[in-house]
Amino acid sequence: MSLQKTQAVVLKTQRLGETSKILTLYSQKYGKMKVVAKGARGLKSRFYGTLEPLNHISIVYYFKETRELQLLSQADIIHPFSGIRENLEKYAVCSFFCELINRTQLEQPNKYLFQILIDVLSAIEKSKRNTINFFFWFILKFLHISGFKPHFNFCKICRTVDLKNNVRFSLINGSFTCSECNNPGPMSMSVPADTIKYLQKLQLASIKYADTLNCVSPESCETLLLSFLQCHIEEAKYFKSLKFLKSIQNQI
């Protein structure tokens, strides 16, 4: 048994016994992992307030190769992202990020994914507009990392970039055909040209400028991205956080 240290984001917490917690983390060095925090639920616990979902923390834990649950020794908050918890829409969007990472097979470390998770949480906490842009931005980055990058730059058949009316987007190969080519193909969907143009800009945009883009049709963007995500990643279905997000958006 050895001591290991890494940064991590808390994806999920579960009760264990009367006073302890099981934490699902996405860590910088070791990918997705689970640790036990003994006595973490007590008011006098040294972990009190440190192990909440979305917290960016630094941890020290005892690693033993033969066990799935590692034992947490120490945890310190790097950033609690308290500004996210003060806004229900922001909290719902960020909860989706955590649920997506938790639900998919990401045991192997990916420092790029860890960094974009930190970046998007930081950006959402600071942003005062267009939170939904960050929702779409993260899905696009996640798809790219997972090997399923969609392509929005030109028509697959004629290579035109001058899009008019609706286009056909293929859920199978992640490309589209323009209205002139009109090639529906299997598992394709009709999408407004403005949606494709917006997603192309967002895909190329730095996180710093994501909230400056104007999303003409959030519903169309959500349908396209979630359909494509679910087509290629089996676990990416039936998110509780999406239901929560929808209920919040209906009240705004």
68-121: pLDDT as tens digits: 899 999 999 999 999 999 999 999 999 999 999 998 876 678 999 999 999 999
In the chain, the amino acid numbered 181 is C
Closest C-alpha to 218, from 102, 137, 151, 164: 137
Residue 137: strand, helix, or coil: helix
- CATH 3.30.465.10 is the classification of domain 2-80: no
- CATH 3.90.1600 is the classification of domain 83-150+168-251: no
> How far is CA 9 from each of CA 14, 38, 121, 171, rounded to the nearest angstrom?
15, 19, 10, 31
143-159: pLDDT as tens digits: 999 999 999 999 999 99
d(CA 33, CA 54): 15
pTM of the model: 0.93
> How far is CA 65 from each of CA 1, 2, 3, 69, 100, rounded to the nearest angstrom?
8, 10, 12, 10, 26
Which of 86-95, 176-185, 206-215 has the weakest average pLDDT? 176-185
d(CA 79, CA 54): 9
Q: Where are the domains of the chain?
A: 2-80, 83-150+168-251
